[in-house]
Amino acid sequence: MNKNIFALAILLIFLAGCSDKHGSPDLSKLSLDLEAGKAVVQDSCAICHGMDGKGVAGNIPNLAAQIETYLLKAVQGYDHGKRVDSSGKVMNVAEGLSHQQLRNAVGYYASLPPVVNQASKVKTEYSYYERGKALSKPCAACHGADGNTTVAGVPRLAGQHPQYIIKAVKAYHDGTRTMPSMHAKLDGLAPADIENIAIYYALNAPRSPASKAANSHEGAQFISSCVRCHGPSGSGDDLSVPNLAGQNVKYLNTVIKSYRDNVRDHKVMHQALAGLKDSEINMVATYFATEPPVQTSFAPPETINSLVQKCDLCHSLGSTNPDMLTPKLSGQNRAYLINAMTTYRDGDRGNSAMHSISSTMLFDATIEGLAEHYSSQEAK
Ligand code: HEC
Ligand code: HEC
Ligand code: HEC
Ligand code: HEC
């Protein structure tokens, strides 16, 4: 695997060298003719980036007043295949132009005043928890307002591992799990929405079910294999394995049987339950349902305000450090910012500085929050 990646890297470096048709001159060393630049922009760029440097659609970046040396490096990146265009090779347009034409077009855009955007006056910080709370309103009728359900047969989500909740929703989406008809609302949710809902529930304290039967511990004889994965007393630190302690007893009963009978498709769980009789499953369900619930050990992702302070350490540099040319982010288009961050995180847009910081963007919700922060700032 690693060997292959290494071989591929060598090959790409080699190909990049070969396809470098014009050599790679430093575009910023070429003289600038703004009038000629305006003409190139009119012919080749304005259809997407506008004459005023404002992207005509959300996924097209604003170029007006952007750091000039950064823009020059960026167009050359597309030209030399160093940068993958997340919108599908539309920037191939640069290949048909001479270096002088590109230099002039970029210089023209950089010389324009910043775009006028609708900077939001009220600066409320993006909060995973508050987003999740708002988005979970339609779920409250069954799962309870805070995820502590009061409806028999409905699973408790409060305190549950968020990775498991996300995984479960994905399974409903892709059909691995049969979607209960009342879950239709889940269909319209974006990945970032689902993450926010999962984080909201995870951070709420789980409560024991209201009518608490005494734990007869009869089920204890059947659970030695379960606790290997689900943790002692049915709560553990493996974020992909659901906590069972204090779960709704009717739900446990139904779901354990559906794994056993292969109605809910999961190989591991099917094997673990093979051979258990209905009466034994009742005992196991009662056992876990009456154990005191434990909140997930999951730590929420870093807040947007705290992350932004780190971003600004580099992104306020502009062109002051030629080895670390950083674009302005304020007032940039939301959808473009989301595309850019996602491609850094997923490895399609190579840049070591942005790669290392993108380890803080494991959640799509974090990327959404950062994009919302920067796009709602006044363009400078
Ligand atoms: C068909 C639409 C289209 C045309 C025409 C086009 N662009 Fe782009 N441009 C895009 C899109 C979409 C992106 C973002 C691609 C990505 O996600 O990497 C982009 C990105 C860029 C970037 C990188 C900006 C950044 O913030 O990193 C520069 C610079 C740029 N274009 C300059 C130009 C210039 C100069 C021209 C004319 C010679 C031009 N573009 C023509 C659609 C277009
Ligand atoms: C009308 C009742 C109802 C509503 C509304 C509802 N659910 Fe559910 N939910 C259920 C039932 C019943 C199950 C168990 C289904 C099964 O066995 O697969 C369930 C299961 C789940 C699970 C799997 C939990 C586990 O432990 O495996 C998740 C996650 C979930 N729901 C999230 C949501 C979210 C998010 C919403 C709101 C967008 C929502 N549900 C709305 C009734 C509901
Ligand atoms: C090898 C690891 C493993 C073992 C052993 C195991 N489980 Fe699981 N269990 C899982 C995983 C992983 C899931 C999540 C499956 C999914 O995504 O549908 C799960 C899901 C469940 C669920 C669904 C919870 C919910 O909220 O939807 C129940 C109930 C459950 N297990 C009970 C048991 C019982 C009872 C035993 C012992 C007889 C057991 N498990 C043994 C790994 C295990
Ligand atoms: C260590 C320095 C550094 C830090 C910290 C940093 N960046 Fe960057 N960022 C860069 C550099 C350098 C580039 C230009 C990379 C390139 O040419 O592709 C960049 C590019 C970007 C772009 C692409 C913009 C465009 O116009 O295409 C986005 C979006 C971005 N950063 C967002 C962020 C966010 C959000 C954070 C904080 C979570 C952050 N960056 C933290 C150095 C940094």
> What does the pLDDT look like over 121-163, one tens digit per residue?
667 899 999 999 999 999 999 999 999 998 999 999 999 999 9
Picking from 265, 289, 313, the residue at the C-terminal end of a domain is 289
| Tens-digit pLDDT profile for residues 91-103 | 777 778 999 999 9
Burial 204-218 (b: 16+ CB within 10 A, else e): bebbebeeeeeeeee
Residue type, 49: H
- The pLDDT of residue 102 is 94
**Tally of domains in the chain:** 2
**Domain check: are 275 and 136 in the same one?**
yes
Please determine, for residue 227, whether its predicted confidence score (pLDDT) is greater than 80: yes
**Domain check: are 283 and 142 in the same one?**
yes
**What does each C-alpha distance from 148 to 64, 125, 143, 286, 371 come to in angstroms?**
50, 27, 6, 18, 32
Tokens (6 digits) for 59: 């996924």
Scan for tokens 């498991």, then name that residue: 164
Q: Say how far apart CA 264 and CA 282 lie, in whole Å.
A: 18
**Domain check: are 146 and 264 in the same one?**
yes
Atom number in ligand 1 closest to CA 83? 18
Q: Say how far apart CA 99 and CA 25 lie, in whole Å.
A: 8
45 burial class (0-12, 13-18, 19+ CB within 10 angstroms)? buried
What band does 8 get if pLDDT is binned at 50, 70 and 90?
very low
Q: Is 61 left (phi over 0), alpha (psi -120 to 50) or beta?
A: beta
**Domain check: are 136 and 113 in the same one?**
no
Please determine, for residue 10, whether its predicted confidence score (pLDDT) is greater than 50: no
**Of the listed ranges 12-21, 101-110, 237-246, 341-350, the one predicted with least confidence:** 12-21
Residue type, 227: V
CA torsion 351-89-170-308 (nearest 10°) is 40
- The pLDDT of residue 236 is 94
| Tens-digit pLDDT profile for residues 153-168 | 999 999 999 999 999 9
What number of CA atoms fall less than 13 Å from residue 110's CA on the CB side? 24
What band does 357 get if pLDDT is binned at 50, 70 and 90?
confident
- The pLDDT of residue 211 is 60
Atom number in ligand 4 closest to CA 360? 38
**Domain check: are 143 and 272 in the same one?**
yes
**Domain check: are 159 and 180 in the same one?**
yes
**Of the listed ranges 22-31, 254-263, 291-300, 303-312, the one predicted with least confidence:** 22-31
- The pLDDT of residue 93 is 79
Cβ of residue 67 lying under 6 Å from some atom of ligand 1? no
Q: CA 177, 180, 184: angle at the middle one, nearest 5? A: 105
Residue 331 lies in a domain: yes
Select from 23, 40, 35 the least CA-distant residue to 97. Answer: 40
**Domain check: are 218 and 339 in the same one?**
no
Residue type, 116: V
Picking from 227, 260, 289, the residue at the C-terminal end of a domain is 289
Scan for tokens 């294999």, then name that residue: 225
Domain extent at residue 151: 128-289
Please determine, for residue 15, whether its predicted confidence score (pLDDT) is greater than 50: no
Largest distance between two CA atoms of the chain: 86
CATH of the domain at 38: 1.10.760.10
Select from 229, 254, 257, 253 the least CA-distant residue to 243. Answer: 229
**Domain check: are 199 and 270 in the same one?**
yes
Residue type, 338: I
Please determine, for residue 225, whether its predicted confidence score (pLDDT) is greater than 70: yes
Its pTM stands at 0.91
Residue type, 110: A
Residue 159 lies in a domain: yes
Please determine, for residue 65, whether its predicted confidence score (pLDDT) is greater than 70: yes
- The pLDDT of residue 214 is 67
Residue whose Cα lies nearest atom 34 of ligand 4: it is: 311
**Domain check: are 184 and 284 in the same one?**
yes
Q: Say how far apart CA 46 and CA 43 lie, in whole Å.
A: 7
Select from 334, 337, 250, 233 the least CA-distant residue to 285. Answer: 250
Scan for tokens 């080749």, then name that residue: 44
Where does ligand 4 bind, in terms of residues with CB under 6 Å?
61, 73, 307, 310-311, 313-315, 324, 326-327, 329, 337, 340-341, 349, 351, 353-354, 357, 360, 370
Where does ligand 3 bind, in terms of residues with CB under 6 Å?
155, 167, 223, 225-226, 228-230, 240-242, 244, 252, 255-256, 266, 268-269, 272-273, 284
Select from 76, 153, 129, 107 the least CA-distant residue to 365. Answer: 129
CB contact at 8 A, 120 and 376: yes
- Residue among 109, 126, 315 whose CB has most ligand 4 atoms within 8 A, to mutate: 315
CB contact at 8 A, 117 and 331: yes
Residue 246 lies in a domain: yes
Please determine, for residue 180, whether its predicted confidence score (pLDDT) is greater than 80: no
**Domain check: are 87 and 196 in the same one?**
no
Residues 6+ apart with CB under 8 A from 148: 156, 158, 204, 206, 207
Residue 16 lies in a domain: no
Residue 10 lies in a domain: no
Picking from 289, 324, 351, the residue at the C-terminal end of a domain is 289
Residue whose Cα lies nearest atom 13 of ligand 4: it is: 326
Cβ of residue 169 lying under 6 Å from some atom of ligand 2? yes
Atom number in ligand 4 closest to CA 370? 35
CA torsion 73-76-78-79 (nearest 10°) is 180
Residue 8 lies in a domain: no
Residue 295 lies in a domain: no
Q: Say how far apart CA 311 and CA 330 lie, in whole Å.
A: 12
**Domain check: are 325 and 184 in the same one?**
no
**Of the listed ranges 272-281, 332-341, 357-366, the one predicted with least confidence:** 357-366
- Mean pLDDT across 33-37: 97
**Domain check: are 177 and 251 in the same one?**
yes
